[in-house]
Chain A
Amino acid sequence: MVECSCNTSNEELAKQLDKIIDPYRDKPSGLIQVLTKAQNLVGYLPKWAQVQVAEGLGVSLQDVYGVITFYAFFSLIPRGRHKISVCAGTACYVKGTKMVTKALRDLLDLRPGQTTPDSRFTLEIVRCIGACGLAPAMIIDGKDVHGRLEPELIPELLEQYE
């Protein structure tokens, strides 16, 4: 199992996770909310966190794993410091998603689903971020939308993400 690589110890994280779980204790319906917050805390969902969530909410570990693997948002493996989500919605596809992914591949040697060796970037392809008017677009770290992308602009754009 891959352990968390950041500075906070697992014990410290486990304590914080307990706080997240508290309002949902023995309430299986809170599973998706708790997992969302847990992933935001830890960065991904390692087995120890899954076990803790399962016990806290009173659901089986199997159900926790089932939900994690069903929804695209959840990850079982560590990800880079910055998540690049390239939009592959229809408008972006028509206007050049392929060109954007190729540029990222050339620049970072990164393919969808992969993380750079220095853990700086993780690349993923997402389905429509709702910025169709600005196609082709990508979103970094779930909040910064970059639209009207052109391959030449990408290197400079990535510089602000250390």
Chain B
Amino acid sequence: MKSLEELAKIRESRREALKIRQGVPSKTEKAHIMMCGGAGCISSKCLDVVEAMKKALNKNGIADQVQIVLTGCMGPCDMGPVAIIYPDATFYRRLKPKDAETIVEEHIMKGNKIRRLMYRAPGSKEPTPKVDDIDLFAKQKKVVLRNNFYIDPTSIEDYIANDGYVALGKALTEMKPEDIIEEVKKSGLRGRGGAGFSTGMKWTFTAAAKGTPKYVVCNGDEGDPGAFMDRSVLEGDPHSIIEGMAICGRAIGAEHGYIYVRAEYPLAIERLDLALQKARENGLLGQNIFSSGFNFDIEIRIGAGAFVCGEETALLTSIEGKRGEPRPRPPFPANEGVWGKPTVLNNVETWANIPEIIRKGAEAYSSVGTEKSKGTKVFALAGRINNTGIIEVPMGTTLREIVYEIGGGIPRKKAFKAVQTGGPSGGCIPAEHLDTPVDYDSLGALGAIMGSGGMIVLDEDTCMVDIAKFFLDFVVDESCGKCSPCRIGTKRMYEILDNISKGKGKEGDIELLEELATTIKATALCGLGQTAPNPVLSTIRYFRHEYEEHIRDRKCTCNVCEFEE
């Protein structure tokens, strides 16, 4: 395709074909069955359900009137496999292959919805049939995950039908590069990888940097334990990342991009690879895109399992095929990135926001969120909570709303203890701060971080010393060893924690941990090391009494730590 008109033509015709997913009954089709194909539902055997559906459709001779689509992650992993049936937008959960025939013969053919497969709100006897009425979804706002309910991630036409590549068209034909950057700056978008640096500023620096060629890089090395947001975007809506990166390429004058994905996400790599091929076939990547003279293409790089490669300088080194060790900054990647050239590096979720900002304008985008944190944030909700899975909420939503209203509270009537955000770089937020709005600055003030979006809920049975030890163990294992504060310091901290957890702690250990933590934070080379002590510091800050109890009374109230005789 060479023009916006051609794009519009595909959009209109495809949109007509997909009207059924907007609730408009179709003359030729009975239903579209959107099966969640996220990693969670796949491991809950959703593919068996799909097979059974196909069989049931064939048996009843209506296979040509019903489409089955495997979508990206819909969010509620613990209810999987889940599906939405259009046009009536009925949400079914915990599907088994044997349910397929009932759905086809009763719901699709006769219009009798299956009550037992519907969602029931906690404490309610009546089921909630429609997906939009379900409390869990109603509190959310989908910007990044805008397409996950509606499109087939393997179909570029589906993406186009939902206004895909409109933003790229606008950026290439109506906007000057500096306008694009200005729009992103005005949107207030901050890096979703965790640090929260202004995306627009990053682009400004790279655009102004001397040296060519320039590069655009996507960080999909989602290594934080307890985080799978990026995975759901990569698997569910790969074109949104491609479009975002191409827009940036135009803005900063780059023709080449890299997407760095961890090897642990084979499905994400497969879908991304297919999306790149389709984009090339349709002229949305390659030479002279939309006849604007702009050339852009993207290569996938696969990470081979090193947490430190999520750190930007380490990731860039890894793209070059080397050991992914970080290096001191400055020079920042904006000036010296891949191959020593100016590079913009943003996280998956950040990229998925870009097309929405350009298409709708900065003002519309920034109407959601708080003063200093604009837009929405995707979180991976897990741990001791009823509704686990992926959620997307406006910045400024309180932790209480997330844990109790969207997450459905703590299972087995246990008491909430803390929520851990930001993985090994973050901290634990206790019950007294549940009304904190979730934004970069509020979480930072509590000694936690926004991080990339992992949110692990801990209940009264979780020992905080054990959790701190868990994260330190992780860091010791993943430290690349280049700088001594991280390599040696975290190891010493781990040993102290290990002693405490075995009843061998001494008076003064807590103070020693704090001292080591302060030194490591101040002197480690990269973000991994500098933030590594956070889980320890934040648990000491809010749960010091648990440390003291372990040391003085040789007691673990939660009965997690095993003391040596």
Q: For the complex, is A19 an interface residue (Cβ under 8 Å from B)?
A: no
> Do the beta carbons of A72 and B304 come within 8 Å of each other?
yes
Known: A90-B226, A133-B389, A134-B77. A147 touches B44 (CB 8 A): yes
> Do the beta carbons of A128 and B226 come within 8 Å of each other?
yes
Closest to A70 in B: B323
Q: For the complex, is B404 an interface residue (Cβ under 8 Å from A)?
A: no
The distance in angstroms between the C-alpha atoms of A36 and B480, with both chains bound, is: 20
Known: A70-B306, A72-B304, A133-B389. A128 touches B480 (CB 8 A): no
> Do the beta carbons of A130 and B454 come within 8 Å of each other?
no
> Do the beta carbons of B383 and A90 come within 8 Å of each other?
yes
Closest to A24 in B: B321
Q: For the complex, is B458 an interface residue (Cβ under 8 Å from A)?
A: yes
**Proximity string of chain A (119-162) to chain B, C-beta cutoff 8 Å, 1 when within and 0 when not:** 00000001111111111010100111111000000000000000
Q: For the complex, is B413 an interface residue (Cβ under 8 Å from A)?
A: no
Interface residues of B in 467-493 (CB under 8 A from A): 467, 470-471, 474, 477-478, 480
**Proximity string of chain B (138-150) to chain A, C-beta cutoff 8 Å, 1 when within and 0 when not:** 0000000000000
The distance in angstroms between the C-alpha atoms of A147 and B263, with both chains bound, is: 19
Chain B residues within an 8 Å CB radius of A71: 303-306, 324
Contact partner of A127 among B321, B389, B474, CB < 8 A?
Answer: B474
Interface residues of A in 30-51 (CB under 8 A from B): 30-33, 35-36
Q: Write the nearest CB–CB distance from B477 to chain A, whole angstroms.
A: 8
Give the one of B40, B304, B477 with max A CB within 10 A: B304
Chain B residues within an 8 Å CB radius of A73: 263, 304-305
Closest to B458 in A: A94
> Do the beta carbons of B470 and A127 come within 8 Å of each other?
no
> Do the beta carbons of B43 and A31 come within 8 Å of each other?
no
The distance in angstroms between the C-alpha atoms of A145 and B420, with both chains bound, is: 25
Give the one of A91, A128, A130, A131 with max B CB within 10 A: A130
Question: What's the interface size class on B, roughly?
Answer: 35 or more
Q: For the complex, is B528 an interface residue (Cβ under 8 Å from A)?
A: no
> Do the beta carbons of B222 and A134 come within 8 Å of each other?
no
Interface residues of B in 284-309 (CB under 8 A from A): 301-307
Closest to A137 in B: B43
Known: A90-B456, A95-B383. A30 touches B321 (CB 8 A): yes
Contact partner of A31 among B42, B226, B322, CB < 8 A?
Answer: B322
Contact partner of B323 among A67, A91, A94, A134, CB < 8 A?
Answer: A67
> Do the beta carbons of B223 and A132 come within 8 Å of each other?
no
**Proximity string of chain A (40-74) to chain B, C-beta cutoff 8 Å, 1 when within and 0 when not:** 00000000000000000000000100110011111
> Do the beta carbons of A132 and B226 come within 8 Å of each other?
yes
Question: What's the interface size class on A, roughly?
Answer: 35 or more
Contact partner of B384 among A94, A128, A145, CB < 8 A?
Answer: A94
The distance in angstroms between the C-alpha atoms of A138 and B318, with both chains bound, is: 27
A-B contact number at CB 8 A:
144
Chain B residues within an 8 Å CB radius of A129: 264
Q: For the complex, is B163 an interface residue (Cβ under 8 Å from A)?
A: no
Q: For the complex, is A21 an interface residue (Cβ under 8 Å from B)?
A: no
Chain A residues within an 8 Å CB radius of B467: 94
Closest to B268 in A: A130
Closest to A126 in B: B264
The distance in angstroms between the C-alpha atoms of A35 and B225, with both chains bound, is: 25
Contact partner of B225 among A32, A89, A142, CB < 8 A?
Answer: A89
Chain A residues within an 8 Å CB radius of B390: 133
Interface residues of B in 415-470 (CB under 8 A from A): 420, 423, 454, 456, 458, 462, 467, 470
Chain B residues within an 8 Å CB radius of A5: none
> Do the beta carbons of B323 and A36 come within 8 Å of each other?
no
Closest to B264 in A: A129
Closest to B470 in A: A93
> Do the beta carbons of B225 and A127 come within 8 Å of each other?
yes
Closest to B231 in A: A130
Chain A residues within an 8 Å CB radius of B546: none
> Do the beta carbons of B226 and A66 come within 8 Å of each other?
no
The distance in angstroms between the C-alpha atoms of A145 and B305, with both chains bound, is: 18
The distance in angstroms between the C-alpha atoms of A33 and B318, with both chains bound, is: 11
Chain B residues within an 8 Å CB radius of A74: 304
> Do the beta carbons of A127 and B307 come within 8 Å of each other?
yes
Chain A residues within an 8 Å CB radius of B376: none
> Do the beta carbons of A130 and B324 come within 8 Å of each other?
no
> Do the beta carbons of A94 and B462 come within 8 Å of each other?
yes
Contact partner of B266 among A93, A128, A143, A146, CB < 8 A?
Answer: A143
**Proximity string of chain A (67-106) to chain B, C-beta cutoff 8 Å, 1 when within and 0 when not:** 1001111100000000000001111011100000000000
Q: Write the nearest CB–CB distance from A39 to chain B, whole angstroms.
A: 9
Chain B residues within an 8 Å CB radius of A128: 223-228, 264
The distance in angstroms between the C-alpha atoms of A26 and B474, with both chains bound, is: 36
**Proximity string of chain B (250-287) to chain A, C-beta cutoff 8 Å, 1 when within and 0 when not:** 00000000000001111000000000000000000000
8 residue pairs, one from A and one from B, having the closest CB atoms:
A133-B77, A89-B225, A145-B43, A72-B305, A130-B228, A71-B304, A132-B382, A91-B382
Name 16 interchain pairs, CB-CB below 8 A, sorted by A.
Answer: A29-B321, A30-B321, A36-B263, A67-B322, A72-B306, A91-B383, A91-B456, A127-B307, A128-B223, A130-B39, A132-B77, A132-B380, A132-B388, A133-B77, A134-B43, A142-B264
Q: A94-B456, A133-B382 are known contacts; what are 5 more A-B pairs with Cβ within 8 Å?
A: A31-B322, A90-B226, A91-B388, A93-B225, A130-B228
